[in-house]
Amino acid sequence: MKKMKSKKNNLSNRVKKSFKGFINDPIARIIDIFRDIKLYISTNIFFCLYVLFNVINGVLVRYLTTGSASNITEFQPFLADIAIVTFIGSFGYLMRHRFRMFYWYFFSLIFSLICVINSVYYTFYSSYVSVSLISTAKYGEDVSDAIVDILEIKDFCYLLVPIILLVIFFKLSRKPYFSNVETHNKEKRKCFSTMLLATIVASIFASTLTSTDLSRISKQWNREYIVIKYGIYVYQANDIIKSVEPKISALFGYDEAARKFHDYFREKPNEAVKNKYSNILEGRNVIVIHAESIQDFVIGFEINGELVAPNLTKLANSGLYFNNFYTQVSVGTSSDSEFTFNTGLMPSNNGTAFVSYFDRTYVSTPKLLKEKGYYASSFHGNVASYWNRSVMHKSLGYDEIVGKSKYDIDEKIGLGLSDKSFFRQTAEKLEELSKNQNRFYATIITLTNHTPFYIEDGYDVTLTVEEETANGEVVTNTYPYMEGTKLGRYLKSVHYADEALGEFLEDLDNRGLLDNAVVVLYGDHDARLPKSDYVRLYNYDYLNDSIYDKDDPRYVEFDSYAYELNRKTPFIIWTKEKKIKGVSMNRKIDTVMGMYDVMPTLGNMLGIYNKYALGNDIFNLKEKDNIVVFPTGNWLTNKVYYNAQKNETYMIEKTALPEDYVSTRSEYAEKLLGVSNSIIVYDLLEKEKEKNDDFNESKIIEGASN
């Protein structure tokens, strides 16, 4: 006890002496402080460089992914990076001196790989990676060409850190550095003081956070916002915690999730509201075409007077064409589209429904149609287990999935069976299916138009111009235009996919399969093409083989918001008849629409209803003010695009808005995302099914008409 008191007194005396010394001679004390810092750095070179380089990598990944220079000077994530890198590094001081350098080097390698993986992932998905996707890594081999295609030099700059540290390690090994460290370092005290420093920095960082910041990190759906506010390392640590949520969901949070779920759906009717399109397609065979990476801008688009997608354009011009349709995919891309299309729910905020939540209960289009005597099949030229479809499609109510093993792989392009061969063989299978089943619901998943877009010929993306020479002769000159760009490859690939589609529809018609059927086509997601390629597409100066200067009156602005709005995909409902029961089946609908609106809209036309679908029946909206909520928290109406990460509002219609227009819709978006995720994670529909005997019953009631 006396010894402890003696230590405390000595510490108190040292503090008093230091304070007194600073008052008497501040310059000398400042010099002493700098001398101590210099001594600390000289005896902890490797640790200081470990912190410095990994914090720099954290800054770089924020800047190089989002492209915003302001992320370099953001103070909050800078503090967060320092705190987590320093805290993890502090444990190195508990090890022997040479081993602690191995420890710091190991974590530098981990941090660098986190930056590399997230950089590559962001290029393709415009989001950050989740450890919950480790289970989907087995699918990487099938899309390895696509992964290689998006790699850029910037994605590997983060690896300079472990390379430089390795060189420094070997240099230090040749010097008496370790003996110096032995002299100056007191391991336990250094560990705890470094932890204390990290804790102080973390406390300063935490004091700058708002309630919104804390809310978003707990929900994790706005990944870009979290990285911008918290830094890449805190985001990844939080993601690990969120990734175990499915395992512990039964233990925590169920009651609160169930309460919000019931509050959300309490006012929603148990029956569909009737409009003039209700039941109009009831009893027809349904052929759904899941069109890989098809974007809406290709409809009606031409180069040198030749349409890139003539068959798709013809389909849009002769059916119900929703020309402001947006998919709402997250990290599951194609599988997310299938999920939302069939259930009316949003993708999960962690992992993918197809892989992480395949064992939940869902109300789906195949299940509801089966109550009406339909047989549900899905067709895909890839392996049935890809994206766990062979399991998840059963959960969605499909009776069978016809995958690669059921096809003759007689022509392979890119990832697998070519679309033309796939469609030809699928038409035969559908004809057989129609003979054996009274009614069928068929989902046909295409494959060829997948990045990196393998088709080289078939559509000319150069520009042909007739020009007059000096002597008055007219000559035809060709200019590169989109040749050699990713968008150019995409247009060639789309043209091939469109040809395959045209042949398929003609084949179905010749077999009589379109006579009592409805064709539903949707693009599963955008092609994630570089913004610079679009700038070239709309601003090509063929005389100089460049783009117009921004000051040129011919220049078309294509900024980040133009890019976001351009990500829409086609959604078309088509029948051979132009009128059914006196109602036109040839109409363009320009109300903004999301994938979660498909089930209420198409379902009502087929005579089925899902109370738990999150979207709206577009034909029941009296005003064009539908809202499309994206998994990032961004949302879109016909008037506004709201960016939740930047808290920016982009006006589409230059009209005055009510004061609470943005705030109320942002609150709605957050509530919708939370409810949808709770349905998936906590399997809330299974609980409803246990309580409700007529859970899946479809009903129609009289109501509004559009």
Same domain, yes or no, for 174 and 288?
A: no
Structure tokens at 319: 């059916």
pLDDT value of position 184: 44
pLDDT value of position 317: 97
What parts of the chain have a pLDDT lower than 50?
Answer: 1-5, 7-8, 10-11, 14-15, 19, 22, 140, 143-144, 180-185, 696-706
- Domain membership of residue 153 as a residue range: 24-243
CATH code, 360: 3.40.720.10
DSSP β-ladder status, 416-417 and 412-413: antiparallel
pLDDT value of position 380: 95
pLDDT value of position 702: 43
pLDDT value of position 130: 77
Of 584, 613, 632, the domain-final residue: 632
Structure tokens at 672: 């919708």
Same domain, yes or no, for 235 and 303?
A: no
Of 617, 632, 647, the domain-final residue: 632
45-66 and 26-43 helices cross at what angle (nearest 10)?
80
Of 219, 243, 267, the domain-final residue: 243
Closest CA to 353 of 555, 161, 176, 135: 135
Interacting residues of 601 by C-beta distance below 8 A, sequence separation 6+: 593, 615, 616, 617, 618, 619
Residue 259 lies in a domain: no
Residue 230 lies in a domain: yes
Structure tokens at 279: 């039941």
pLDDT value of position 428: 97
pLDDT value of position 34: 65
Task: Render 142-167 in DSSP notation, one character per residue.
Answer: GGHHHHHHH--GGGGGGGHHHHHHHH
pLDDT value of position 362: 96
Residue 582 lies in a domain: yes
For residue 133, the Cα-to-chain-centroid distance in whole angstroms is 12
Question: Which burial class, exposed, middle or buried, applies to 387 when counting CB atoms under 10 A from its CB (0-12, 13-18, 19+)?
Answer: buried
Cβ–Cβ contacts within 10 Å for residue 124, how many? 15
Residue 58 lies in a domain: yes
Residue whose structure tokens are 């766990």: 388
At 384, is the secondary structure helix, strand, or coil? coil
What's the whole-model pTM score?
0.81
Same domain, yes or no, for 194 and 314?
A: no
Contact in structure between 677 and 349 (CB atoms under 8 Å):
yes
Per-residue pLDDT tens for 232-269? 999 898 888 777 765 665 556 788 889 999 999 998 88
pLDDT value of position 7: 44
Closest CA to 396 of 454, 337, 350, 447: 337
Residue 115 lies in a domain: yes
Residue 566 lies in a domain: yes
pLDDT value of position 192: 87
At 477, is the secondary structure helix, strand, or coil? strand
| Number of domains comprising the chain | 2
Same domain, yes or no, for 49 and 103?
A: yes
Structure tokens at 154: 């910037």
